[in-house]
Amino acid sequence: MRQILALAAGLAVLAASACSAPVPPRSAAPSAPPAGPAALPAPTGPRPVGTTVLYLKDTSRPDPWNPDAEARELKVTLWYPAERRDGRRAPYMTAKESEILMRREGITGVPYDTLSRTRTNAVEDARPAGRDLPLVVLSPGFTKPMNTLTSLAEELASRGYVVAGIDHTYESHATTFPDGRVAECLACDSDTDPGFGTGVVRGRAADVSFVLDQLTSAWDRSGLIDRSRIAMAGQSIGGAAALAAMVKDSRVRAGIDMDGTTYARIPRSGFSRPFMFLGSAEHVPGGRDSSWDRDWRLLTGWKRWIVLSGGEHGSFTDLPLLAEALGIKPASGVLPAARGAELTRAYVAAFLDRHLKGRPGPLLDGPSPRHPEVRFCPAACRRS
């Protein structure tokens, strides 16, 4: 299940993980001269965006990957509406994190600090604005740091959400703690074990419950959050973790799985909280991954199953947006990076607006001529 970061057609990086169908490794060498630092797209919401980082320690349980750790340590990045737009832009990741990620994924031919120079839109430690805002938890794909969902997080914060992105320690290539320790991917040594995916999502669900406890009570800015309006979204195994967290924790009212095979078992009696599948062609009905077919029948409440034509596993992350900086030319037939980001942000925001803010816009009601790449399954989908 461990994969090289494939340079798929039209994507800078394929966010491969333990919850997607394996693909053959491909060369990670640039196909064009790098074009300088990447820049994430500007958020479209009306609010300035701030960001800060929390380091939390759960002493009630051991770390599932590191037997020498006395507690489960987590890095949580928060994005939120801010009072002002001016200030220092937050770094995308550290130079060391960029180096480790690129080395582990086999990316060569560009400086190892390239990803650390990506320009973001959020102001570091900006003063928050508002109270009782809906909260969205984000969980990244296996081996990928939370940074790879930054553009989605910034978009949601600009629209009035507090966003909590969890770096699940030892499940990504690099997580840096305040004392300078860099936790690398210990879970990568186990990713071919039977039941690996089930174990990962169980652990991530526990991470989510702990983070919710901290943010809604112990955090000194807990007044920002409306405890009755919490949702979760994730990409790849992070999407699978969204469903697992919802099954475990009733505080999570709604969830989105972006292109992730699901592992958590839904009760046979059904699951009535709102849920959306948003994926690539791998997840059309009858496609290579059958988990969505299985779970769709057990989702008894509001639900959507959406597939992006031309989308690939990484289309729901920042990774394709970094292609130019890595010297990767997009290929024909694959959803362009900017369009993938636009569609992901639009449909995720529409889902959250409907279920956390009570604003049911038309975007999720059916096909739109403005979004011809979007197919509503299972009725309007066919295997391609």
* Domains and their CATH numbers in the chain: 49-265+348-373 (3.40.50.1820)
Pick from 99, 108, 238, 98: which is nearest to 168 by CA? Answer: 238
Better-predicted residue by pLDDT, 17 or 311: 311
pLDDT in tens, 275-314: 999 999 888 888 888 999 999 999 999 999 999 999 999 9
* pLDDT on residue 9: 32
pLDDT of residue 34: 64
pLDDT grade for 379, boundaries at 50, 70 and 90: confident
Average pLDDT, the chain: 89
**Cβ atoms of residues 234 and 242 within 8 Å:** yes
| Predicted model pTM | 0.92
**Which residues is 277 bridged to in the sheet?**
257, 305
- Confidence bin at 347 (pLDDT 50/70/90): very high
**pLDDT of 325:** 77
Q: What is the pLDDT of residue 33?
A: 60
Compute the C-alpha angle 253/151/334, nearest 5°: 100
What was the pLDDT predicted at 382?
A: 57
Residue 75 pLDDT class (50, 70, 90 cuts): very high
Please write the tens of the pLDDT for every residue from 109-167. Answer: 889 999 999 999 999 999 999 999 999 999 999 999 999 999 999 999 999 999 999 99
Dist CA 183 CA 181 (whole Å): 6
Q: If pLDDT is split at 50, 70 and 90, which confidence band does 324 have? A: confident
| 33-43: average pLDDT | 83
- Residue 381 pLDDT class (50, 70, 90 cuts): confident
> In whole angstroms, how far apart are CA 325 and each of 36, 111, 152, 339, 380?
5, 10, 19, 17, 37
Residue 202 has which token pair?
């169980």
pLDDT band per the 50, 70, 90 thresholds, residue 30: low
